[in-house]
């Protein structure tokens, strides 16, 4: 393939030069352009998931897992007087008792004419791929639910167009091309140094007017109101909402509800795993599992049956649960989040027993 152009955003002189050009373009646009149209907007997304077959997919289609705090177990340990209260649990121990949960998000998110800033809810720096997709390539091909400079999003998948550009770190080009051979099917750009500045330079060179994206809003500039006004018009035309935060949309509420449900399902699976792994009496195990299934008891009630076990033994069992989830994902045996929500049976402990040769032997 041809040599990939690199933007050297670690060159202060170059960055300062472009910032002057960007400021000049913002002023010119504000004085000469009455309103933006979709061709004036580039969607920008940073991600660690490569768009295989040109598809950007939401987390519900990725089987992405992350660890969550085992709050009910902490409450049981407080009950046993191991800790004074739930807030006194040491962070080191809390991290040891985290368990895997499938992530849930049904939407794919972009910024407009700029790159997202990291904030308390997410760190978006140093991800391998920065996706650039012209808005007008997607208006009739994707299910837009919010137009907002900091968080335009669609429901479901997005198929990237042949106009897509992918920007990657200059020092990772060779490794990424080996790991993702399909990268050669995209227009590629490389960058070195500050990724925010690199994005602004590329947007300028492509003919767009870069904007600075704050946490949940656009930072005022001479041209920023043009973006806000276009979003309002697009949302009106397409029957969705504009210029608000993702957290204020009905899609966010639905995703949060499903995320909570997944947490409860995986916590229940972890509790069942601990009961089956640690309690020797099969009749007692069956009674506890039956009572959980019929909701005669809750997760905390079941965990009280583990009162006499030491913390290290419980931690070891949680590690087995987590390694089993990892193995299920590796073998493509882990259901999708929506399948789990539709009563797909995980049966993690049975999977563990059938694959014990791949685990540390039971104690």
281-334 confidence digits (pLDDT tens):
999 999 999 999 999 999 999 999 887 788 889 999 999 999 999 999 999 999
Closest CA to 263 of 48, 49, 72, 62: 72
- For 51, other C-beta atoms within 10 Å of its C-beta total 24
DSSP 61: G
- 96's CB contacts (< 8 A; 6+ apart) are 315, 318
Give the C-alpha separation, 19 to 200, whole Å: 8
In the chain, what are the domain boundaries? Answer: 6-59+106-243, 65-102+250-358
3-state per-residue secondary structure call for 165-209:
EEEEEHHHHHHHHHHCHHHHHCEEEEEEECHHHHHHHHHHHCCCC
What is the model's pLDDT at position 125? 76
Q: Is the dihedral of CA 163, 20, 47, 148 positive or negative?
A: negative
Closest CA to 318 of 261, 289, 277: 277
**Rg of the chain's alpha carbons, rounded to an integer?**
25
DSSP 5: P
Pairing outcome for strands 143-147 and 241-242:
parallel
Pairing outcome for strands 99-102 and 65-68:
antiparallel
Asked if 165 contacts 213 with a C-beta cutoff of 8 angstroms, the reply is no
Give the C-alpha separation, 359 to 208, whole Å: 53
Give the C-alpha separation, 93 to 203, whole Å: 46
Asked if 67 contacts 52 with a C-beta cutoff of 8 angstroms, the reply is no
- 75's CB contacts (< 8 A; 6+ apart) are 86, 300
Q: What is the pTM of this model?
A: 0.84
The pLDDT tens digits along the chain (363 residues) read 568 899 999 999 999 999 999 999 999 999 999 999 999 999 999 998 899 899 999 988 888 899 999 988 888 888 777 778 777 888 888 889 999 999 999 999 999 999 987 555 556 677 899 999 999 999 999 999 999 999 999 999 999 999 999 999 999 999 999 999 999 999 999 999 999 999 999 999 999 999 998 776 778 999 999 999 999 999 999 999 998 888 889 999 999 999 999 999 999 999 999 999 999 999 999 999 999 999 999 999 999 988 778 888 999 999 999 999 999 999 999 999 999 998 877 899 999 999 876 654 444
């Amino acid at each position: 393939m041809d040599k990939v152009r690199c933007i050297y955003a670690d060159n202060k002189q170059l960055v300062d030069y472009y910032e002057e050009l960007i400021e000049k373009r913002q002023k010119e646009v504000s004085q000469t352009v009455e309103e933006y149209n979709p061709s004036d907007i580039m969607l920008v997304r940073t991600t660690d998931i490569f768009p295989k077959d040109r598809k950007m997919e939401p987390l519900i289609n990725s089987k992405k897992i992350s660890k969550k705090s085992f709050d009910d177990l902490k409450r049981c340990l407080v009950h046993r007087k191991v800790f004074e209260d739930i807030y006194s649990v040491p962070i080191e121990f809390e991290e040891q008792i985290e368990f895997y949960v499938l992530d849930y998000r049904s939407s794919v998110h972009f910024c407009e004419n700029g790159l997202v800033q990291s904030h308390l809810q997410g760190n978006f720096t140093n991800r391998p791929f920065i996706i650039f997709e012209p808005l007008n390539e997607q208006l009739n091909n994707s299910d837009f639910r919010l137009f907002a400079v900091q968080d335009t999003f669609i429901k479901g998948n997005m198929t990237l167009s042949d106009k897509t550009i992918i920007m990657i770190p200059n020092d990772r080009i060779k490794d990424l091309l080996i790991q993702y051979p399909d990268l050669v099917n995209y227009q590629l750009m490389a960058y070195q140094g500050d990724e925010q500045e690199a994005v602004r330079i590329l947007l300028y060179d492509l003919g767009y007017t870069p904007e600075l994206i704050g946490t949940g809003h656009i930072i005022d500039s001479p041209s920023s109101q043009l973006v806000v006004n276009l979003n309002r018009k697009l949302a009106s035309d397409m029957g969705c909402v504009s210029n608000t935060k993702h957290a204020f949309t009905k899609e966010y509420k639905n995703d949060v509800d499903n995320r909570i449900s997944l947490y409860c399902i995986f916590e229940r699976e972890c509790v069942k795993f601990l009961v089956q792994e640690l309690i020797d009496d099969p009749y007692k195990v069956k009674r506890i599992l039956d009572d959980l299934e019929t909701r005669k008891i809750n997760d905390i009630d079941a965990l009280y049956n583990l009162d006499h076990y030491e913390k290290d033994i419980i931690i070891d069992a949680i590690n087995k649960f987590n390694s089993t989830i990892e193995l299920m994902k590796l073998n493509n045996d882990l259901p999708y989040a929506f399948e789990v929500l539709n009563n797909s049976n995980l049966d993690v402990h049975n999977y563990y027993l059938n694959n014990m040769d791949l685990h540390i032997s039971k104690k």
